[in-house]
Amino acid sequence: MNNHSFIKSRMKWVCGIVLSLMLTTGLAGSSLAQAIASANGVESIPPDSGGSAAPAAQSRETLIKNATILTASHGTIKNGSILIRAGKIVEVGQGVKAAGANALVIDATGKYVTPGIIDCHSHTAVEGEVNEGSLSVTAMVRIRDVIDPYSLNIYRELAGGLTTVNILHGSANSIGGQNAVVKLKQGRPVDEWFVTGAPPGVKFALGENPKRSSSQGQGAAAAPRRYPATRMGVEETIRKAFVQAKDYMREWQDYEAKKGADPSLIAPRRDLMLDALVEILQGKRFIHSHCYRADEILMLLNLGDEMGFRVQTLQHVLEGYKVAKEIAAHNTGGSTFADFWSYKMEAFDAIPYNAALMTDKGVNVSINSDSDERARRLYLDAAKAIKYGGVTEEQALRMITLNPAMQLGVEKRTGSIDVGKDADLVIFSSHPFSVYTVPEMTFIEGVVYFDRKTDIERRDALKIEKAELVKREREARGGPAAAPRRGEPVPPPKDDERK
């Protein structure tokens, strides 16, 4: 390993420690952090436990009382309470009381409680590049294997009330890689992040990105362009892949039918890319397709009718309002932006009324981020659908909770505040659609993963701890003579350096 790689590796290690010290789930090891967590009644996870305190936190009964509860499924409950036990919601309504004497009771008087926010299109926590752009069909690659649990964006998103995300491959491919539906359980082993029972999916893409409009050289000296280079070619690439998948599926079906009578029969050669496409044909794997233009949306829906697959969600779908009836007829969801468009040619016909118009035609609509920045404030993005289109408050809330849960096939577990569902919740200081509101606490399965009060109280201690870690790292790299970090004052030269 060269010096640059060593330094980069060491700094990433330090950043990981600093980040862990920031987590209000109790990952911090200082006695100060433990004292603050205890004072706030929040279960903390000791740093040397491997996160083993989380099950203990789940087993403790929690009562959130005196809140305005926006259920996302059955209206608003004023002066309501939510009882949580073993990570599940066990009672919701007025007059709910805790059964256990040592229950954690959170008085949410004047505050609002919503389901945990769900982002149906995210690239957060992906280690390395999100695009495997060398081929146009890469259904064999998996996002789940490259999730970075130390990404700073995870904590920031928890601070914005985000609890569940659909982490997708990029859009460089007509057929991209396999997604991962995860809960942001920062501080827990990554294997525990994946939502049990969430149907697997594959990212598709149409338009400028898979045909590589802006990423391949032009002119005589340019390298040959990767196929496809046109919108027609994108369609043909997808069709050809499914023709191959059907042939592959028949080979395996024939083998399974005959192997009992002929033990010497050789099984077909395994193809991981075609395995994923066969699962789509069998209805076992979802398609989440990046798209913009109405003509391409219809092309993919029609291609699905031809080849025998269904598109679960159209991602971005900026011209979805033009063909909303056709989208609804295919029982396909639309996961769109609140107000992000005109950044390239195929986004020029986007309008802020898209979410409302698709909703009016019967499309299941969610608001997504596609951005670690927008993911921190999806609750405000949802509010824009009220301004642009006049959807109801509950319809807007569902666009970031129950609707994306349905699009991801996890609505039986999360997405609304109902008895039996996971206790994925957010406590807001005021109405979640107010520009003055802030998320104060974020729960995932009954465990607090963000507490604003604790966060604020610990900031000074973290600054001191970070400075000490940086000092130790500099000394390990060669002492105080190392170059100052950006934003730090440059010390004056010593006397012997003035000469």
pLDDT digits (tens, 9 = 90+) for 240-249: 999 999 999 9
- Which residues of the chain register pLDDT less than 70? 1-59, 216-223, 479-499
Q: Is 254 helix (H, G, I), strand (E, B) or coil?
A: helix
Phi, psi of 34 (to 5 degrees): -65, -40
pTM: 0.85
CATH fold of 3-116+448-476, please? Urease, subunit C; domain 1 (2.30.40)
Q: Comparing C-alpha atoms, which of 110, 53, 87, 345 is closest to residue 207?
A: 345
What residue spans define the domains of the chain?
3-116+448-476, 117-414
Q: Comparing C-alpha atoms, which of 198, 376, 397 is closest to residue 288?
A: 198
Task: Give alpha helix (H) positions in 308-413.
Answer: 324-329, 354-360, 378-387, 393-398, 402-407
Kindly give the pairing relationship between strand 313-316 and strand 286-291.
Answer: parallel
DSSP per residue over 397-421, as a string?
Answer: HHTTTHHHHHHTT-TTTSSS--TTS
330 in Cβ contact with 311 (< 8 Å): yes
pLDDT at residue 224 in the model? 74
pLDDT at residue 60 in the model? 81
d(CA 366, CA 134): 31
CATH class of 117-414: alpha beta
Residue 447: its H or E element: strand 447-451
d(CA 271, CA 246): 13
pLDDT at residue 51 in the model? 45
d(CA 85, CA 344): 49
42 in Cβ contact with 432 (< 8 Å): no
d(CA 100, CA 82): 14
d(CA 289, CA 311): 7
314 in Cβ contact with 286 (< 8 Å): no
pLDDT at residue 6 in the model? 42
d(CA 393, CA 370): 23
What burial letters (b/e) apply to 400-426, b meaning 16+ CB within 10 Å?
Answer: bbbbbbbbbbbbebbbbbbeebbbbbb
CA dist 240 to 91, 237, 247, Å? 51, 5, 11
Structure tokens at 76: 């608003």
244 in Cβ contact with 280 (< 8 Å): no
Structure tokens at 397: 């809330």
CA atoms within 13 A on the CB side of 367: 30
